[in-house]
Structure 1
Amino acid sequence: MTTSLILHTILALLLLILPFGALYLLDRPSIQPFGTALVRGIIQLLVFSLIVWGVYKIDNTWINIIWFVAMTIWGGFMVVSKCHLSIKDYLLPASAGLFGGTIAVGLWLLVAVLPIESVTARWFIPVMAVLLGHSAAMLVRGLSSYATMFQRNRAQYDFLLGNGASPWRALMPFFRTSLLAILSPTIANLSALALASLPLLFCGMLIGGFTPINAFAVMLYTIIGCIASSVLSLGIALFLVKSLNSKQI
């Protein structure tokens, strides 16, 4: 780390005077939780950045794959924890869902869609990280909705089974609810993307050296990829939940 970078980091941290000052004037008890969360987030970001730097430096296919597998397992653990579900029953489906959905869509983007000559760490890590992050956030919604809906309406499942429906057919209403749980927020937020998220991504890509038209194209590919990856991840996870667990929820 150069002296210039340290100086710039200190200058950036000075901006925190504004939120801390506002909390000091209006809600002093919130200063400690805010500060703790901020420090924790900075440490996590630093650790993640060091890991990514190492993967970038080595730029080896197997190292990239190991990094991705580790991230999907960690992502699956976070999903199950946030949904308050059984680690034993849901960790494998959640992790496998994230792995399958992200790797399938990510490789499609990297190999067939994005105009790159070879899949190096420079492209593999950002694309997979964005897809994995979005898919994990949506999988929390999907699995949580599925589990809650099934617990509240178990009688509906038993009723459909009693009337001749197959187990998979009887679960379709719950799968539908789970799918809508991840697509409804996406549909609602798409109209706001041009006003909020896209300018930030657009500016970031311009700073990184993209031309405006290329930045637009990459953003479009990323948005479509995130939606497809989240749906595929949910489908794989629900399939494994039903296949691997004899007892529902």
Structure 2
Amino acid sequence: MDIAWLQLGLFMLVLLIPLAIGRYFKLGLSRDMAWAVIRMTAQLVLVGLYLQYLFILDNLWVNVAWLLVMLLVGSSAIISKAKLPKKLLYLPVFSGLALGMFPILWLMLVYLLSPEPLYTAQYLIPTAGMLLGNCLSGNIVALQRLFGAFNDRKSEYQGALALGASPSQASLPFVQTAMQQAFAPILASMATMGLVTLPGMMTGQILGGVDPLIAIKYQLVISVAIFVTLSVSVSTTLVLCIRSAITETGRVRISL
């Protein structure tokens, strides 16, 4: 069933509720909320129009270029939201996302979905989008917790260095805490999936008329893929950021 544009516009009036809540509690987020909704709407409409063209064109190099754009924008968004300098951390974050996404994406396309050809945009782009989209918040949390710990637990870090630990050894407890907090939301979501939450992909397929058991299989695949991608991207990003942001003498070149 299609949704009329007028219906969609009227439904979006419910956004007045979070705006009202923000104003009541004086959160100072009204402008950010409005801008986020405007950007989301404009970007989704433009991307929807572009994907229509992309699916028809279905060119290998265009599809690969689009994946690259997704990685570049995602990396930029992570660093911006974490309020960290891009110059030092852009390459580590980009590398973490790429290393987390490409192996799992390849495995899904080759082993499970098997489109002909493999680079078919209808499968490649949405699958990559789901993997990347669910990595953003985890990486943001991990980076904030990591560099926040260097400020909050500075004496602990300096004490470890004074006792002869290398910068990577002294920062290991901070990395562990950052990873634990980054993984906590997805672990909670996975543990309650099916009982508390019905994931969007599965719900969308069921609403589209797909057999519930088939929808569940796809949801299991994408949930596992997202978790593995998040695990690899967060761990890789943190390790590379440590190498990039800390000198050989242990001086941290970034502070929140």
TM-score range, shorter chain: 0.7 to 0.9
Question: 1:1-249 alignment to 2 at 5 Å?
Answer: 8-16=4-12, 20=16, 37-114=36-113, 116=115, 118-119=117-118, 120-195=120-195, 197-198=197-198, 200-208=200-208, 210-245=210-245, 246=247, 247-248=251-252, 249=254
Q: 1:22 to 1:187 in 2, by over 3 A?
A: closer
Q: 1:85 to 1:215 in 2, by over 3 A?
A: same
5+ residue gaps, structure 1, are none
The one-letter code sitting in structure 2 at the alignment partner of 1:185 is P
The one-letter code sitting in structure 1 at the alignment partner of 2:11 is L
TM-score by structure 1 length? 0.84
The one-letter code sitting in structure 2 at the alignment partner of 1:49 is G
Deviations for 1:112-158, whole angstroms, at most 9, x for unmatched residues? 34455542111111110000001112101111111101222232222
Any idea what SS the aligned residue of 1:164 has?
coil
TM-score by structure 2 length? 0.82
Instruction: Say whether the 8 Å CA contact 2:89–2:244 is kept in structure 1.
Output: no
Q: Displacement of 1:19 after TM fit? A: 5.5
Q: 1:82 to 1:218 in 2, by over 3 A?
A: same
What's the C-alpha RMSD, in Å, of the aligned pairs? 2.9
The one-letter code sitting in structure 1 at the alignment partner of 2:177 is T
Q: Which has the higher helix share?
A: 1
CA distance in 1, matches of 2:237, 2:224: 20
- Percent identity for Structure 1 against Structure 2: 25
